[in-house]
Structures are given as C-alpha cells and as structure tokens.
Chain A
Amino acid sequence: MPQTTIYVSPRSHGAPNERPPAVVTTDLARLFAGSAALAGVSLRVEAGRCVALLGPNGAGKTTLLRLLATVIRPSYGAAQVDGLDVARDADLVRERVAYLSHSTGLYDDLTARENLDFAATMLGTPDRAGRVERALADIGLGDRAGDRVRDFSAGMRRRLGLGRLLLGQASLVLLDEPTSALDEGGLGLVEQLLAAWRDVGVTVLVASHSADRIDRFIDARVVLDRGLVASVSGAGVTTVAPGAEPSHRPAVATR
C-alpha cells in the first residue's frame, strides 16, 4: 500500500505569493483541420493553486493541457508557464512541467522499475536509484517493481504514470483524467499526490469530467465549453471575458 506521506521534490521557487503566475494564457487558440479545439482562452492561474478544468467531451480541456505541456503549439494567442512562453521557451518550460496524459507513455517490455529509472535518467533526478524505489513504494507498486509493464492492468499503468511525476522537479503538474481506470486505492493515491503537491506549492491543473472525488483539494474551477471559458469560480484563477481583449486571430469555427 502507498505510504502515508508521498515524497515530491519541488523546484526552489520561493513562496507562492512571491512567484509569477504559474499559467497565463492570452486569447489562446488551437485549430485542428480548420476547426478550433480551443477558440480563444484567456486565463491567469496563481502559483500553488489546484485548478480543475471541467467540461464535456470536446470542450478543449486536453488541448489546453497539451499546449501548456508543449506537446502542441498554439495556432493563435500565447501561453506562459512561470513567465516562460510555451512556444518560444519550450525547452525551459519542459523543465518546469510534469504531464500525465490519457496514455501513460510506458515501455511494455521494460519492468516498472526500469521504466521509472529511464524517466529519472531523462529528468536528471539526483539519487536516481533511491528516488525510483521511493516512488515505487509511494504508488503501491514496490512488490511489482520487477514485473514487465506488459502484464500490468490499466490501473497499475496509471499508477506508474503517476509515479513518474514524482521523479522530476516540476512547478506545474498537468493531469488529464488522472482518476481514470483507478480503483479505490488508486483514487486515494491521487488524493495523496494532490496533498503533497499542495504542501510544497506546486501548481496543479486537473482536467476531468467531474471533480467530485478530488473536490476538497480544488481551489478553483474553470468550465470549458466548445473551446471557450464558460465560467470560472474559486480562488487563484481569473479570466478575461471574451471580446474584452484585442484579438489578432481570424474568426474560427469551434468544433
């Protein structure tokens, strides 16, 4: 079972109120084949907050996370993470962002330990072996560390994906449906992770259809609908009403 206190290693970034906004997006849009998955989102997220991105399928939650993670580039508008532009300073942004997408990006023929060890090497994690073992214990896979990932269930793969997030020094964690495929123990793990990140001032953006299970960790809720911000509530997040900012992009059709 996971230990009660999960170890996360934050960047030495000072108190949240002394830091620049963790995320600033300005009229951020992303087109796919001419239609807008994200149609002009302007958000400002204070550092150290846990923000739920809510909305139905196709609302633009995943696209927003992928843009912030530098997986894709904006079609129009801009996005900044810790004051760094996601398009122009992508290399520096990657040092600050940890992203768990729908897929876990694991190698089937490697063991759980080898997968995390590879990730730790790529992330330049100090005391690699120790941190990998700690992460395996934290996610409750210590006894399966030597097993190949090919034999893992979807929930175990998800846990391992979450374990990879513990190896870096991210100041912004992006989670896309982190509770999918997880059992009750896995859901508890997500709660522990959110608590650990909150304690060290890491900003977390969680995309979800529903934030019921992680409700008590959420500082603010952003509801997206058809690529636009439908509503914002809670502390630490502000938005600019559509049309209140000058837009430099052409009119686009939303999906």
Chain B
Amino acid sequence: MSALRRDAGIALAIARKDALSELRGRHATVSTLFFAAVVLLLFGFALGPDAERLADAAPGLLWLAVMFAGILAVNRLHLLETDDDALEQLALYPVSRRAIYAGKALGGLAVMLVLGIVVLGAVGILFAVDVAGAVVPLLVTIVLGAIGIAAVGTFYAGVTVRLRAREVMLPLLMLPVLAPLLLAAVKATAAAFAGDPFGELGAWLQLLVAFDVVMVVAGAATYGFLLEDG
C-alpha cells in the first residue's frame, strides 16, 4: 500500500470518527448553526426592511456567520481530543502527522460545508438575494472558503488546544490570517449574487484557490510539531 493511500485511509478514519462523535453529540453543529442564525437575524433586524441595503450586506454577513461559526466548529472538533487525553493517544499512533492534520481538517470542512449551505439558504430568504440564479459559483465559493477556514482553523486549533484561554486565543490567531480569504470570498459572493457584471469572479476564486493551497501545504507540513508535548 502506498504511503499516500495509507495517509488517505488514516485521514478518512479520523474524519469519520469526528463525524460519528459529532452526529451523536451534535456539539459543533448545534452551536454553530445557532450562532449563525443569531448573526443573520440580528443583522437583518438592524439593517431594516430596505431590500437593496439587505442585498448589499448579504455577502459580508454570510461570510461573517460562516467564519465565526467555523471557528467554533474547528475548536469543538479539537476539544473532542482533549476528553480523556485522546490527543496524546492520537499522537502516539505510528501514522504520518499530515494524515492526522488532513483528517481533522476534513472533519472541520464537513461541518462548515453543511453550515455554509444552510447559511446560504437562510441569506437567500432573509436578505432578498437571488441564490438560485448563481448557485454553482456560490457553491464553489463556499467550498473554497470552507477549505481555507478548515485548513487555517485546524492548524490554530492545534496550537491552542492545550491552552486554557483557547476560546479567546483561537479567533485572535485565526482572524488576521483569514483576512485575504474573507476579502476574496466576500467579493466572489457579491459578484456571484450580482451576476458577475465585471467578470471579476474568476480572479477572486483564483485567489481563494491559491490561499487554500498555501494554507493546506503549510498546515500539513507543520501540524506535527503541535502534537509534540514539549
């Protein structure tokens, strides 16, 4: 069995384990969906009934909800490893560190994809934007954005998982790094909602792809050091 195939099997096993835990505990899904719903509703009320205003704010609010909920999700998925010191046991298995990183990131990605699609539907209803008319570019944007958030979030959740102040530190560390992703994702989403009148959608999606590649490679290369306990 090639090393790559074995790594893929390990990553899928970790993601499956996280998914099973999440399906039974629903810790990440419930908290993230609740948080996203509160963000969308509060901003919807604050912006008022002006349809044009709501539509202008929709891309930013969509990604605000996805990003903060994504931070909650990756944090929660790493907290699964702190129960009964499972992270130490995970680090002791004779498997590659990049496979462990990929597995944890896949788990976060799955939660965020579900979340992104639900939030996209909610934005379409609450903010008077045409989701159905641009569903493919919107889904591509959400997939690319979710990959980036999962890649960055998994790495920083690994950094903070042993800290007492992890809930505070995780967004503080993640948000500056996610700035280019958020810019590209919001711009791509706005272009998709508007029917891409200036032909800029492709460029923003390319930036998202580049961000994802850099962060996935960097995360996979360095995550192993985070598993070392001194």
A binding-site residues for B, Cβ under 8 Å? 69-73, 91, 94-95, 97, 99, 101, 103-110, 114, 118-119, 121-124, 148, 157
Q: Using known A-B contacts A72-B230, A73-B230, determine if residue A105 contacts B13 with beta carbons closer than 8 Å.
A: no
Q: Using known A-B contacts A101-B85, A103-B85, A118-B13, determine if residue A91 contacts B21 with beta carbons closer than 8 Å.
A: no
Decide if A104 touches B84 in the complex (CB within 8 Å). Answer: yes
B2 within 8 A of A: no
Decide if B6 touches A105 in the complex (CB within 8 Å). Answer: no
Classify the interface of chain B: helix, strand, loop or mixed: helix
B38 within 8 A of A: no
- What 1/0 flags go to B18-35 for Cβ under 8 Å of A? 001100110000000000
A-B contact list, 28 entries, CB within 8 Å: A70-B92, A71-B88, A71-B92, A71-B229, A72-B229, A91-B94, A94-B93, A97-B92, A101-B85, A101-B89, A103-B88, A104-B84, A104-B89, A105-B84, A105-B88, A105-B90, A106-B84, A107-B80, A107-B84, A108-B84, A109-B21, A109-B80, A114-B20, A122-B10, A122-B13, A123-B93, A124-B6, A157-B84
Decide if B20 touches A109 in the complex (CB within 8 Å). Answer: yes
B228 within 8 A of A: yes
Give Cα distance in the complex from A91 to B80, angstroms: 24
Decide if B95 touches A122 in the complex (CB within 8 Å). Answer: yes
Pick from A71, A94, A110, A148 the residue with the most CB of B within 10 Å.
A71
- A-B contacts besides A99-B92, A119-B93, 7 pairs, CB < 8 Å: A69-B92, A71-B229, A91-B94, A94-B92, A101-B85, A122-B13, A122-B93
Decide if A107 touches B92 in the complex (CB within 8 Å). Answer: no
Q: Which of A94, A107, A124 contacts B86 (CB 8 A)?
A: A107
Give Cα distance in the complex from A68 to B92, angstroms: 11
A contact residues around B89 at 8 Å (CB): 101, 104-105
- What 1/0 flags go to B99-110 for Cβ under 8 Å of A? 000000000000
Give Cα distance in the complex from A99 to B90, angstroms: 12
B139 within 8 A of A: no
